[in-house]
Amino acid sequence: MSTVPPDLRARVDELRRLIHRYNYEYYVLAQPTVSDAEYDALMLELRQLEARYPELITPDSPTQRIGAPPAEGFATVQHELPMLSLSNVFDEQEFRAWAERVYRLSGRRDIEFVTEPKLDGVAVAILYRNGVYTRGATRGDGYTGEDVTANIRTIRMLPLRLYPPDDVPVPAVLEVRGEVYMRIKDFNDLNRQRGEEGLPLFANPRNAAAGSLRQLDPGITASRPLCFAAWDIGLFDGLPAPATHAGVLDYLRRLSIPVVPEYAVYRTVDEVLVEVRRWLQTREQLEYEADGVVVKVNDRALYDQLGVVGREPRAATAYKFPAIEKTTLVRHVEWSVGRTGKLTPIAILEPVSIGGVMVERASLHNEDEIQRLGVMIGDAVVVQRRGDVIPKVITAIPARRDGDERPIVPPDHCPVCGAHVVRLEGEVDRYCVNPSCPARLKAQIQHFASRGAMDIEGFGEKLSDLFVDLGLIRSLPDIYELDWEQIRQLRGFAEKRIENLREAIERSKDRPLERFIFALGIRHVGERNARLLAEHFGSIDRLAAASLEDLLAIPGFGPTVAQSIYEFFHEPKNVEMIERFRRLGVKVAETAPVARPARGPLAGKTVVLTGKLTTLTRAQAEEALRQVGARVVSSVSKNTDYVFAGQDPGSKYQRAQQLGVTILGEDDLLRMLRESGVSLAEAVPAS
């Protein structure tokens, strides 16, 4: 007989139901209704009750998401219903031909179609028995997959037990089919973190999702930002299944299972093509990788009636986006030198057009990545380009080698200054050891003068290259001691240009401390870390005197970041450089901001910025909003008060429309800042 009091058993059930609901709100809807502290308190209470009464622990409990030990290998799973692949079409003519075959074979013209994004991830089948998560398996070859039950259990947006509304029945067996994927931002953050830790980078979000899902240790999978979206059902026993595909997705949503975003039903081919064009136009703004639009016959009985050709259902196809990957040849490899001295291998390619842009250069990242790819000079390679991201080589094609290929040999000396190159223990990169290397100095100047740093208008790449080549700048402080008489002798430097440049340099002396710290170019210190350092220490002197323990005490600062900062301020040349900046009038301590009462239309409001602002930079807008008591966040939820949209707003704009959040423009932002007591001159600092 159970020793658990009935009221505690009921409380455990209630805790699990609440935690599941809050997970769905947070991870799927991005609309949390409780604070992190409230959520953590519920989890703590559940853990304590389960520790007190171990007989209450069940596999579907939220506390058991990372409860499995590392596996020695993956068992295989036979799919009772095959997981078929899709046919592809690549243009409107091919799509119309596919639709005509559907009309002809069905003998009908009154057919509805469903469109949904073709997520680029890993296809899986997830099994629930009596509403409890039981098994997860990869697609594999469509008939046999790998058992990844413990790993899929760690995906927090996926319910381990179904808690349907009272009017929604659950079948005895429910197989949910969908995609495990990684959002682009999460992928970039993961790669950034791996780079700081000296680990190999993932090639793309799909590669990262696949690698994360196939970890033998579920604890590693749990640490990765994996998402799931359902796009169909397989087994459905004990109840009649929904009659339409859209009905299936609606049904899964009511069970709080995340489904593919923005699916829609259309009645004609022309309507479908309008939707496909919309996806093509907004492709670059998506928060996830999608390589096409899936189009399916909505009527599930007709879908089954149309049957299968080979391993592809006749009633569905994928309208593939134009390629962002192409195959070309590696002519040779150059090594560029960055501001920290890091050498980056750049593949010089046989020119190839990708997405309408001619690509001749692509990053190889570092020599570990070269080894991972196995790429050689002369190889055929696959090159990927997405948006404004620098193209990169994602794989080599050894089968196309003819024997003339040559290995890529990392240099022992800097290709610019000839100094020795070192690769430190535990590092994936090589570095030029010469702090006066012209290539390093040029990159440092460009970073120092950039908008997010000291914001010296007119001091771009061409100017920094010119001044370094002429010997006018030999170190960063030389920017503030330029020989203007010598500059007057240069072609293209009229008096007005010189006057503007001098004024821009003089204005830069009074930037906030966080921007000066960022401008110094300390390894692993981006704008966020620079802001944390400025807020924590308040002056360069206190930061320079900080111990490793002091730095590690800052939330989010790990050993790699702390060590890099500590070493920078204990390098005599850097100490001397900062003293020169001080003597030249550059502000190196934070000025206490004038206390501004939190009043006006923005005080206490949660706001999101999206799109390009024309009057303000993003950093200036965020700072002005913080000054008047607004909370600036990066994602839109039902708790967002305003979304301020500039030019070319992305998915945040669409999300705000879906949630009914108030959307305002840049003029509204400036007006509300003024009403909150910020003058335009304050909101837009001189640059």
Instruction: Decide: helix, strand or coil at residue 298.
Output: coil
Active-site residue list: 118
Beta pairing partners, 129: 132, 173
Cβ neighbours for 620, distance < 8 A, ≥ 6 positions apart: 683, 684, 685
3-state helix, strand, coil in the chain (%, to 5): 40, 20, 40
Distance, in Å, from the CA atom of 651 to the CA atom of 656, rounded to the nearest integer, reads 9
CB 345 within 8 A of CB 330: no
DSSP-derived secondary structure for 181-230: E--HHHHHHHHHHHHHTTPPPPSSHHHHHHHHHT-SSHHHHHTS--EEEE
Nearest to 315, CA basis, from 229, 261, 245: 245
When mean pLDDT is compared across 119-128, 277-286, 440-449, 469-478, the lowest value belongs to 277-286
Distance, in Å, from the CA atom of 261 to the CA atom of 30, rounded to the nearest integer, reads 13
Nearest to 141, CA basis, from 301, 311, 371: 311
Residue 227, both tokens: 């998402």
Which stretch, 230-239, 380-389, 429-438, 453-462, has highest mean pLDDT? 230-239
Give Rg (Cα) of the chain: 29
Nearest to 380, CA basis, from 367, 399, 355: 399
Nearest to 362, CA basis, from 403, 340, 406, 331: 331
Over residues 275-334, the pLDDT tens digits come to 999 998 888 788 998 989 999 999 999 999 999 886 789 999 999 887 677 889 999 999
Nearest to 509, CA basis, from 256, 255, 662, 686: 686
CB 50 within 8 A of CB 60: no
**pLDDT at residue 374 is higher than 50:** yes
pLDDT band at 389 (very low <50, low <70, confident <90, very high): low
Amino acid in the structure at residue 218: P
Nearest to 543, CA basis, from 578, 508, 491: 578
CB 623 within 8 A of CB 655: no
Amino acid in the structure at residue 448: F
Mean pLDDT of 565-570: 92
Distance, in Å, from the CA atom of 362 to the CA atom of 383, rounded to the nearest integer, reads 7
pLDDT value at residue 682 = 45
Nearest to 232, CA basis, from 263, 203, 211, 209: 263
| pTM for the full predicted model | 0.52
Nearest to 433, CA basis, from 453, 452, 418, 449: 418
pLDDT value at residue 70 = 54
Over residues 655-679, the pLDDT tens digits come to 788 788 888 988 889 888 888 877 6
From residue 89, alpha-carbon distances to 86, 220, 266, 270, 400 in Å are 10, 37, 18, 15, 27
Over residues 620-631, the pLDDT tens digits come to 788 788 778 787
pLDDT value at residue 556 = 65
Mean pLDDT of 80-86: 89
Phi, psi dihedrals of residue 343, rounded to the nearest 5°: -95, 125
**pLDDT at residue 686 is higher than 60:** no
**pLDDT at residue 593 is higher than 50:** no
